Structure 1
């Protein structure tokens, strides 16, 4: 089997769809000798902010001299990114090695009453085996794929659990109310394991407090147990105060948006708890340097300065709200042009309503993905007076770029799958 065949086998499992539940994971883990028990982990769940929180944590731990594994989704430019060490994706050869180990198990499992594992279950199992048996590291940060309680990553017992936020996303799986969604997200809270959150909605917090109490888990809440104060929006990031347990410090991050300050504070509190239980020694210098160095693709990522072009994966109503807040605080004097593509299963009307309030012009396109909304569907949903239907995003941008002036900003946003699809070509286009 070569690399292309290995990845094709993994992706072919998408036909099985999303299969919530841990039975298949537990069966495979037992066959592999329980690799999940051999690694130290941090578990990061929530609706938005997971990827950014993971990257802050990873960079701080790296700056402190630790080798850090990450398991994230979706990948941005290459499949291998989902399993990385110190930000470097697993090699093609290691992907093949892992598939050759996992594939016989998957085929055996298909003959049982539980059926074969989904694509995400396969990738999760690959990562657990990889970090336990092939490339052991000091800590692995696991990002939840969907929900939490029944997510395939929920077989780990972490040192710390993190729940970033609660919002209306994946409602067909997680429920229609914030309380129902919070119940699924809170499923990652483990017995006697501390949990940190930036969740704000009272009904969601109530669910999490009850779950933490039943698990005897100490709950650290933003605004109650640790505080932040945004100081300034810098040209290349944000500065803020952070306080926890009577200690207060000023930090600078290089990711743009006030919401990134919240994500950074979750990482800071996680670091404080890791320091407190003596599992790790992370000094202030490493924290300062790690936060400043942290960057995550597709989150207000500046691709060009002249003209000003950003990529932002605002793929649900809550992340669009964060993008709009950033636009309002940073680009009040600029003309904002938006190119947007989304998946069909998102709350598109809510997202467009927000984006149209800050856009001088808005264009709609699509991309090659099973659940992608068509450009026509998005265009017809929009009520903006200056909207455009774009079948070919490449030629649209090619023609638009030369016309952009000093006070224009182009923001390409929507599905992260869309951004990851177009980014390589977009970079080439901007370099011409």
Structure 2
């Protein structure tokens, strides 16, 4: 059966009902039936609590600047579903999505009738990407972003050239564990035998877990602050500047347009990862490629300015760690501005910690919601911070319109929370013009 694009999207999204089913058995079954496309891919694998998407994009941008054909697999999408599987930053076509779904659906139907059970939405999309990059359209490199955790994530079917673990924080605790050590163990599950790991993790207890697993797999470690460093970081109107230093390089006055110290960390992880490819796989990357790749990289929905008058920013700070970084970025780049924050998040997050951080940088907060199964209601969010007389408006479109009517040109509207929320809000604001 050949599916249309709309049929493919409807079928893929229908798998959301299965939720999250950790484990690699269904992926292994599908890879076997597809002729093991994952074995044909030269991959870079990126896990972490925060910063995965940006780090993936920095790596892609540097490799692309060096003239390589680079695939990426990321989640969730912000503008359109197809962007989850992209080539040199360009989402694959509707026709290719339809072809891939038509290839995977018979396997899904067959798998449904086995003791393993049917694949989840994420497993289906991952299988589609692996078939695309491994069989349909081979790349020089493919950068894979872990969906959740690492050890049992469906992307963990790949055997990469290098592994990156960005950060570790208390997110998805119901699935990954409620301590830093447990979550680090799950993230470190992507470490493979002989494959080095580059990490920006800073907690000593998490690093001990990662180091233990790396040693067990004879995998070299490159740790931010120990094996590579950032100096002279400065926030500018355009973004951030910094110096990167490692055993092999000392690059001064690097520039990124993405704002925040966390983006400097993400960029440094990307530099170290491609430096490893340079050294051990003879990948030709010049310092100019690194400079230009960093400066040209832009990742939507991350402290992104959508409007100048009034100033409107959107940022996918979807957990406490993300909010902490947002707070620091706002203090660096919007210091002294009057800020109204529109906030919505998923029920399974540590909402109280997130709201405390939002309150710290906001003159006013409006809570809202959006159409998503796990989204918290506006009133649920408001009641978590009863000491402030903040407003709740359930419909986010009404909330935005209400705020904009009251906002002066020199004030800021900051919209933050779930990336799923940011995806919807971003479209609405851009459509309004």
* Structure 1 residue runs without a partner (length 5+): none
SS of aligned partner of 1:263: helix
The residue number in structure 1 matching 2:259 is 256
1:176-187 to structure 2, matched below 5 A, reads 176-187=178-189
When normalised by structure 2's length, the TM-score is 0.97
Residue 354 (structure 2) aligns with = 351
SS of the residue corresponding to residue 252 of structure 1 reads: strand
TM-fit CA distance, 1:424: 1.2
The question of whether the paired residues in 2 share the 8 Å contact of 1:333 and 1:407 is answered with no
Segments of structure 2 that go 5 or more residues without pairing to the other structure are none
Deviation at 1:406, TM superposition (A): 4.5
How far apart in 2 are the matches of 1:391 and 1:204?
A: 39
Given the alignment of the two structures, is residue 327 of structure 1 paired with residue 321 of structure 2, yes or no?
no
Counterpart for residue 272 of structure 2? 269
2:142 aligns with: 140
Q: How does 1:3-82 map to 2 (within 5 A)?
A: 3-82=5-84
- Partners of 2:392 and 2:419 in 1: how far apart? 20
User: How many Å apart are 1:382 and its aligned residue?
Assistant: 1.6
Which of the residues 190, 206, 209 maps onto 2:208?
Answer: 206
Q: For the Cα contact (< 8 Å) 2:237–2:333, is it kept in 1?
A: no
What CA distance in whole angstroms lies between the structure 2 residues aligned with 1:21 and 1:303?
Answer: 39
1:229 Cα offset (Å): 2.0
Q: Residues 20 and 279 of structure 1: is their aligned pair in 2 closer, same or farther, counting only changes over 3 Å?
A: farther
Task: Using the TM superposition, name which of 271-280 and 125-134 deviates more.
Answer: 271-280
Deviations, residues 178-203 of structure 1 (Å, cap 9, x unaligned): 00000000000000001000001111
Partner of 1:376: 379
By how many angstroms is 1:330 displaced? 2.0
**Following TM superposition, by how much is the alpha carbon of 1:386 offset from its aligned partner in structure 2, in angstroms?**
4.5
* Selected match of 1:427 from 423, 426, 430: 430
Q: Deviations over 1:121-171 (max 9, x none)?
A: 111010000011111110000000000000000011100000000001111
Q: How does 1:398-417 map to 2 (within 5 A)?
A: 398-417=401-420
CA contact (8 A) 2:370 2:395 kept: no
CA RMSD of aligned residues (A): 1.1
1:230/1:258 contact within 8 Å kept = no
CA distance in 2, matches of 1:77, 1:296: 11
Counterpart in the other structure of 1:388: 391
Flag as ranges the 4+ runs of structure 1 deviating above 6 A. none
Q: How does 1:101-140 map to 2 (within 5 A)?
A: 101-140=103-142
SS at match of 1:396: helix
Residue correspondences, number = 430
The question of whether the paired residues in 1 share the 8 Å contact of 2:339 and 2:414 is answered with: yes
Contact kept, 8 Å, 2:38 with 2:158, in 1: the verdict is: yes
SS of 1:352 mapped into structure 2: helix
Measured in 1, the distance between the counterparts of 2:227 and 2:118 equals 43
Q: How many Å separate the matches in 1 of 2:241 and 2:355? A: 30
- Give the 3-state SS of the residue equivalent to 2:222 in structure 1: strand
